[in-house]
């Protein structure tokens, strides 16, 4: 395992920026219309439960990743298969988020630029970050977080002082009842982004105070949920439920409405830069998790230079991101309708729950 440590503050900032990730592009829960913010709240409650499962497994195996203790609980062969499943899962999600932000750049700013060129630039940053290691990534997140948070609050302030948000767009609340909220929450909002914290099972061992992983993680989830709800309510109140649902990038469309005396306007490029920063952090976390997992199942790779392995993975990352969808519309559809029930649920809920049960059984056998 890499001999590196990250501080409590860095850990919290990393989770918050990770949670924002691609959610600020596609939005969350807009299928529930004016009750979208309630799906975030209910998704958070489920996300906390999942996070408790992840941290309990870490408590049982404090110096191991999910790609290593799965073999201890499931046996050598089945555990090996599960470990590879998580490596592919983290790698696939890093490719999905790479496609998210590459499409964002092409759609909004560099409209004549090939998608491949944008992906290449992102991938160079990702590969370099992975080569430097988790400590550098965490420090980078710590540096950028205040700027991201400050910029976000300023943008929201501008939106509100222009009088764009309308409270009527949030009415009536719970029009279709709580059952509809729960239907919209599971699996989509629960698994995206809260369940994606399963990736931190690969990073827990690097926390300098591992015993605080549970407390710090829950704090980060609560803080990120608060900001997500505020952002969600602002979008809904500004665009209205129907337009928010149809919008390609709801947050960007909301910010584009700001025009203060013709002086403060067209803040889109600045917003996109902020979005890209949190997006790159999310891609890097997934990519690094796949990198770490690969070294767990293939110990001989530890004798190789980090940049060699990360460069090969970088090339594969671009290839997967390019071929996964024929268009942005297809990409979003697969990401919101196919991935949550068929990929996220097994990897975020089913397998960790099975591992948790097996850890309890193993603990009782030892007591006997």
| pLDDT number for residue 301 | 81
| pLDDT number for residue 29 | 84
The C-alpha atoms of residue 283 and residue 90 are separated, in whole angstroms, by 9
Q: How far is CA 35 from CA 28, 153, 183, 205, in A?
A: 11, 23, 12, 38
| pLDDT number for residue 93 | 98
The better pLDDT of the pair 267, 231 is held by 231
* Residues near 161 by beta carbon (within 8 Å), at least 6 away in sequence: 260
Q: How far is CA 292 from CA 143, 160, 178, 284, 285, in A?
A: 24, 44, 41, 12, 10
The C-alpha atoms of residue 286 and residue 197 are separated, in whole angstroms, by 10
| pLDDT number for residue 270 | 85
Residue-by-residue DSSP string for 139-164: HHHHHHHHHHHHHHHHHHHHHHHTT-
Structure-token pair, residue 290: 């796949």
CA atoms within 13 A on the CB side of 176: 14
Q: What is the mean pLDDT of the chain?
A: 92
Structure-token pair, residue 334: 């697969």
Structure-token pair, residue 19: 């949670």
Strand spans (E) along the chain: 259-260, 264-265
Q: What is the per-residue pLDDT across 275-310, written as a single tens digit (0 to 9) for each?
A: 999 999 999 999 999 999 999 999 888 777 888 999
The answer to whether residue 112 scores a pLDDT higher than 60 is: yes
202: which DSSP letter? Answer: G
| pLDDT number for residue 85 | 98
Q: What is the per-residue pLDDT across 248-263, written as a single tens digit (0 to 9) for each?
A: 899 999 998 888 877 7
Q: Is 276 helix (H, G, I), strand (E, B) or coil?
A: helix
- Chain centre to alpha carbon of residue 5: 21
The C-alpha atoms of residue 195 and residue 190 are separated, in whole angstroms, by 6
Structure-token pair, residue 99: 């496609």
The answer to whether residue 106 scores a pLDDT higher than 80 is: yes
Q: Is 264 helix (H, G, I), strand (E, B) or coil?
A: strand
DSSP3 helix / strand / coil % (the chain, rounded to 5): 80, 0, 15
Whole-prediction pTM value? 0.95
Q: How far is CA 316 from CA 82, 119, 173, 319, in A?
A: 21, 12, 46, 5
| pLDDT number for residue 232 | 94
- Chain centre to alpha carbon of residue 342: 18
CATH of 8-361, one of 2.40.240.10, 3.60.40.10, 1.20.1740.10, 2.70.98.40: 1.20.1740.10
For range 317-338, the mean pLDDT: 94
Q: What is the per-residue pLDDT across 49-100, written as a single tens digit (0 to 9) for each?
A: 999 999 999 999 998 999 999 999 999 999 999 999 999 999 999 999 999 9
| pLDDT number for residue 368 | 47
| pLDDT number for residue 229 | 95
- Answer yes or no: are the C-beta atoms of 196 and 47 closer than 8 Å: no
304: which DSSP letter? Answer: S
Residue whose token pair is 């990352």: 317
The answer to whether residue 311 scores a pLDDT higher than 50 is: yes
| The Cα angle at residue 13 between residues 8 and 15, in degrees rounded to 5 | 95
| pLDDT number for residue 33 | 87
* Residues near 357 by beta carbon (within 8 Å), at least 6 away in sequence: none
The better pLDDT of the pair 201, 366 is held by 201
- Each domain of the chain, given as residue ranges in start order, spans 8-361
The C-alpha atoms of residue 148 and residue 94 are separated, in whole angstroms, by 21
Q: What is the per-residue pLDDT across 212-233, written as a single tens digit (0 to 9) for each?
A: 999 999 999 999 999 999 999 9
% of the chain residues with pLDDT over 90: 71
């Amino acid at each position: 395992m890499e001999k590196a440590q990250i501080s409590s503050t860095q850990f919290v900032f990393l989770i918050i920026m990770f949670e924002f990730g691609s959610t600020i592009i596609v939005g969350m829960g807009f299928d529930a219309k004016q009750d979208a913010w309630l799906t975030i709240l209910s998704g958070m409650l489920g996300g906390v439960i999942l996070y408790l499962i992840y941290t309990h497994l870490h408590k049982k195996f404090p110096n191991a990743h999910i790609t290593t203790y799965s073999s201890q609980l499931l046996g050598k062969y089945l555990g090996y298969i599960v470990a590879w499943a998580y490596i592919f899962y983290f790698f696939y999600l890093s490719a999905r988020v790479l496609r998210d932000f590459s499409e964002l750049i092409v759609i909004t700013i560099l409209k004549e630029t090939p998608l491949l060129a944008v992906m290449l630039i992102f991938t160079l940053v990702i590969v370099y970050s992975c080569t430097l290691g988790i400590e550098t990534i965490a420090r980078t997140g710590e540096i950028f977080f205040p700027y991201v948070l400050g910029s976000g609050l300023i943008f929201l302030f501008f939106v509100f002082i222009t009088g764009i948000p309308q409270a009527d767009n949030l009415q009536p609340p719970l029009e279709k009842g709580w059952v509809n909220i729960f239907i919209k929450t599971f699996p989509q909002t629960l698994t995206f982004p809260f369940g994606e914290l399963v990736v931190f099972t690969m990073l827990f061992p690097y926390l300098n105070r591992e015993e605080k992983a549970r407390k710090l993680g829950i704090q980060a989830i609560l803080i990120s949920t608060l900001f997500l709800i505020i952002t969600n309510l602002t979008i809904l109140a500004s665009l209205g439920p129907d337009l928010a649902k149809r919008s390609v990038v709801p947050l960007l469309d909301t910010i584009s409405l700001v025009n203060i005396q013709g002086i403060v306007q067209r803040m889109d490029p600045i917003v996109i830069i902020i979005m890209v920063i949190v997006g790159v952090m999310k891609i890097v976390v997934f990519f690094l998790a796949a990198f770490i997992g690969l070294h767990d199942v293939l110990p001989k790779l530890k004798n190789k230079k980090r940049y060699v392995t990360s460069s090969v993975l970088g090339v594969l990352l671009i290839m997967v991101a390019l071929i996964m969808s024929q268009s942005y519309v297809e990409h979003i559809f697969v990401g919101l309708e196919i991935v949550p029930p068929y990929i996220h649920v097994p990897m975020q809920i089913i397998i960790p729950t099975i591992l948790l049960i097996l850890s309890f059984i193993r603990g009782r056998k030892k007591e006997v």
